[in-house]
Amino acid sequence: MRALGIDFGTSNTVAMVRGGDGRTRPLLFDGSPLLPSAVYRQSDGRLLVGHDAHRHARIDPSAFEPNPKRRVDDGVVLLGDAELPVPQVVAAVLRHVAAEARRQLGGIDQVRMTHPAGWGERRRLMLIQAAHAAGLPRPMLVAEPVAAASYYTSVLGSAVPPGRALAIYDLGGGTFDATVVRRSATGFDVLAEQGLAELGGLDFDQALVEHLGHTYSDTRTALWNGLVTPADTGQRRARALLYDDVRGAKEMLSRTTSADVHLPALDIAAHVTREELESLIRGHLARTVTCLAQTVAGAGLAPGDLVGIFLVGGSSRIPLAANLIHAELGVAPTTLEQPETVVAEGVLSLGTAPPAPAGGLSGTPRALPPPARPVTGPRPPTLAPRPAAVPAPPYPTPVPPVSPAPPRLPAPASPAGPVPYPPMPPQRRAWYDEPGRVWLLALTVMVLIAIVVLLIMTVELLR
- CATH number for position 11: 3.30.420.40
Q: What is the mean pLDDT of residues 33-57?
A: 94
Helix 233-252 × helix 50-57 angle, to 10°? 130
Three-state SS at 110: strand
Higher per-residue confidence, 272 vs 398: 272
Task: Indicate if 34 and 162 belong to the same structural domain.
Answer: yes
Domain presence at residue 230: no
Task: Indicate if 140 and 165 belong to the same structural domain.
Answer: yes
Q: What's this model's pTM, rounded to 2 decimal places?
A: 0.73
- Domain holding 18, by residue range, is 3-200+280-419
Q: What is the mean pLDDT of residues 190-195?
A: 95
DSSP-derived pairing of the beta strands 268-273 and 258-263: antiparallel
Choice among 24-33, 227-236, 249-258, 371-380 with the minimum mean pLDDT: 371-380
Domain presence at residue 399: yes
pLDDT of residue 385 exceeding 60, the answer is no
Residues 294 and 305: their CA atoms lie apart, in Å, by 14
Task: Indicate if 301 and 335 belong to the same structural domain.
Answer: yes
Question: Phi/psi at 7 (nearest 5 deg)?
Answer: -110, 95
Asked if residues 441 and 369 have their Cβ atoms less than 8 Å apart, the reply is no
pLDDT at res. 439? 60
Domain presence at residue 356: yes
pLDDT at res. 436? 56
Task: Indicate if 339 and 458 belong to the same structural domain.
Answer: no
Write the CA distances from 179 to 184, 293, 294, integer angstroms: 16, 10, 10
Domain presence at residue 308: yes
In the chain, how many domains are there?
2
Cis bond before residue 396 (omega within 30° of 0):
yes
Choice among 106-110, 331-335, 401-405 with the minimum mean pLDDT: 401-405
How does 378-389 read in b/e, with b if 16+ C-beta sit within 10 Å?
bebbebeebeee
Q: Which residues contact 296 (CB under 8 A, 6 or more apart)?
A: 167, 180, 192, 302, 303, 306, 329
Domain presence at residue 268: no
Domain presence at residue 426: no
The pLDDT tens digits for 281-327 are: 999 999 999 999 999 999 999 999 999 999 999 999 999 999 999 99
Task: Indicate if 72 and 152 belong to the same structural domain.
Answer: yes
Residues 240 and 396: their CA atoms lie apart, in Å, by 9
Asked if residues 303 and 163 have their Cβ atoms less than 8 Å apart, the reply is no
Domain presence at residue 355: yes
For residue 134, what pLDDT band results from cuts at 50, 70 and 90?
very high
Task: Indicate if 435 and 385 belong to the same structural domain.
Answer: no
Task: Indicate if 414 and 440 belong to the same structural domain.
Answer: no
Asked if residues 288 and 312 have their Cβ atoms less than 8 Å apart, the reply is no
Task: Indicate if 296 and 441 belong to the same structural domain.
Answer: no
Question: Phi/psi at 383 (nearest 5 deg)?
Answer: -95, -5
Task: Indicate if 377 and 446 belong to the same structural domain.
Answer: no
pLDDT at res. 392? 34
pLDDT at res. 38? 96
Task: Indicate if 413 and 444 belong to the same structural domain.
Answer: no
pLDDT at res. 442? 67
Higher per-residue confidence, 56 vs 415: 56
pLDDT at res. 353? 36
Q: What is the mean pLDDT of residues 51-72?
A: 91
pLDDT of residue 404 exceeding 70, the answer is no
Task: Indicate if 307 and 435 belong to the same structural domain.
Answer: no
Mean pLDDT of the chain: 81
Domain presence at residue 226: no
Residue 454 one-letter amino acid? L
Task: Indicate if 315 and 458 belong to the same structural domain.
Answer: no
